[in-house]
Amino acid sequence: MVKPQGFFMKELILASTSPYRRDLLKRLGLPFNCVPSQVDEEVYKDKILDPTELTQTLAFEKARSVADLHPNAIVIGGDQVSLFQGKILGKPHTIESANQQLSMLQGKTHQLVTATCVLGPNIKEAWVEIITLKMRPLDPEEIKRYVEKDSPLDCAGSYKIEQLGISLFQEIDCFDQNAIIGLPLIKLSEILRGQGLQCP
């Protein structure tokens, strides 16, 4: 494809190797690269106890670490935590832990805190979306079957809402359901359009 004279497409970078965020960003139809950030998340988790501040800080630091290496690009950073009764839930990593998390969440309400940061030569935008989710009552056999089928071991809260996990819920309250998966596309697409990136 021959670009018109004077045409310049800003480079877009997702500061993540998350397959979930990558697949979400693909929906905007823009070319982009994925570059992993070099941020040690555990350092920040040890220092920052407030979940909203933690996610905001990590989203910014992830974007900044990549933007420093690509100063002419627009870089997107993101972070997310799952909260239950004020405590952060980590990724389960094992089937046993996933079963335990879902047993704790079933029949109750919890929150997801999703932070996003966009950095570039002429932009610094950051925001947080908080999603409230109510899980339906689940018996141990339902939980076991779900974990076996969806294998949500790399997901905080132990569910993949974009797959079979949607069947676990009674109510979801949020502005942008994409934020549940990790990247709020409604506001992000507005910001990128403001930077001259057409989506679509």
Domains parsed from the chain with CATH numbers: 12-194 (3.90.950.10)
The whole-angstrom separation of Cα 52 and Cα 60 is 12
Full pLDDT tens readout for the chain, 200 residues:
334 333 356 899 999 989 999 999 999 999 999 999 989 999 998 899 999 999 999 999 999 999 999 999 999 999 999 999 989 998 899 999 999 999 999 999 999 999 999 999 999 999 999 999 999 999 999 999 999 999 999 998 999 999 999 999 999 999 999 999 999 999 999 999 999 998 77
Spatial distance between the Cα atoms of 84 and 92, rounded to a whole number of angstroms: 14
pTM exceeds cut of 0.85: yes
Q: Could you give the count of Cα atoms lying within 13 Å of 181 in the half-sphere of its Cβ?
A: 20
Local structure of 134: helix, strand or coil? strand
Whether residue 160 contacts residue 146, with contact meaning beta carbons closer than 8 Å, is answered with no
Give me the amino acid identity at 148: E
Is position 68 annotated as part of the catalytic site? Answer: no
pLDDT score of 156: 87
Distances (CA, A) of 104 to 49, 152, 180, 198: 22, 15, 19, 43
Among residues 50, 79, 150, 176, which one is catalytic? 79
